[in-house]
Amino acid sequence: MYIKISLSLTLILVSVEASGAVIESFEQSGGDASLSSFSTIYTSGGGTFLRETLNGIPGAPNSVTSLPVNTGGDKELRYLENLNINIAATGGYALTNNTYSNATIDAYIGINGIVGPAYAKGGVMLNVSGSSISTLNGYQANITVRSSDTSQATLGFTRYESGIGTGISYRTFQPFDVDIENENYRLSFDVDGGVLTASLWRVLAVNGSLIEQEIDLQTTNGIQNTVSVTDSSFIINPDSSGRHDPNNPYFIPDPDYEIFSSGKIGLSAFARNGSEVYFDDITIAAVPIPASFLLFLSGLIGLVASSRNASNK
């Protein structure tokens, strides 16, 4: 004789909003990037994250009135490639150890002057999981400066699934003018129920004071520095050109996609031919999900699965 157990369970993850915020300014002793809040580091192609000042680095932001990311200032998180390795490009991700749900990240980003046929990309990430670059899942908002015209940049979004990124940066967001040696960029990013929203400001010195100007990302009337996309708009099949454009009739939504509702928070960088990306004064506006709760949740899910298996016998 046995007892047949039937168990039904609905789990809801709730993130408690913090009254304050986690701020990372990368001022820990030494230069090891893993000593910061973004302690999980993944890189490819010989790229490196360091915590250091930008003193003496040609092409780095160099405003007389010091910007959040600036030569002659405090430490920044610096991403650079290893120029001794002959490779087309390098990429890197610096992630938190903690897991968050419904978080917002706000970061100041600086980009180095670019030399040669290359481009640089600096971004922020939410709801990230995976144990290597090839297994990453999550969402990214990023700023891209291309060597074809270093006076302009674009804002874009990327969705990563098993390390493969699908981007829609060029779909509707117009390019904006940049002066990468005299400006920083403040990027705010949140994900809510499969809706990705980013806001962007230009940070510069005017008459000895720092100001933040909204960057116009839309072609409609007025300045609109906030843009949104839905998760489902990433799940598309490429046409013969290999591009990803949901407005193209040859793109078909994939019904099996997953919305990533929680995960680690990260900083992302891409560099080529001597370009570099810098981060500072990172704000995270949510409380992390305790590891003990995640362990309890994992055990509870296992219990439900075992109970369902028993009920089917």
CA distance 280 to 107: 7
| 112 found inside a domain | yes
| 2 found inside a domain | no
Q: Mean pLDDT, to the nearest integer, of 93-110?
A: 94
Bridging pattern class, strands 104-111 and 276-284? antiparallel
What per-residue confidence (pLDDT) applies to 241?
46
Q: How many domains does the chain have?
A: 1
Q: Provide the residue count of the chain.
A: 313
| 60 found inside a domain | yes
Residue matched to tokens 């999981």: 129
Q: pLDDT tens, 254-287? A: 556 688 999 999 999 998 877 899 999 999 997 6
| 14 found inside a domain | no
CA distance 270 to 167: 14
Q: Residue 122: what are its φ and ψ, rounded to 5°?
A: -125, 135
Please choose, from the candidates 100, 52, 22, the residue with its C-alpha nearest in 3D space to the C-alpha of residue 276: 52
**Rounded to two decimals, what is the model's pTM?**
0.81
Q: Residue 76: what are its φ and ψ, rounded to 5°?
A: -125, 165
| 7 found inside a domain | no
Q: Which two tokens stand for residue 301?
A: 């899910």
What per-residue confidence (pLDDT) applies to 268?
96
Q: Is the pLDDT of residue 307 over 70?
A: no
Residue matched to tokens 């090839």: 134
Q: Is the pLDDT of residue 230 over 80?
A: yes
CATH number for the domain including 86?
Answer: 2.60.120.560
In the structure, what pLDDT confidence band is assigned to residue 119 with cuts at 50, 70 and 90?
Answer: confident
Q: Which domain holds residue 33?
A: 22-300
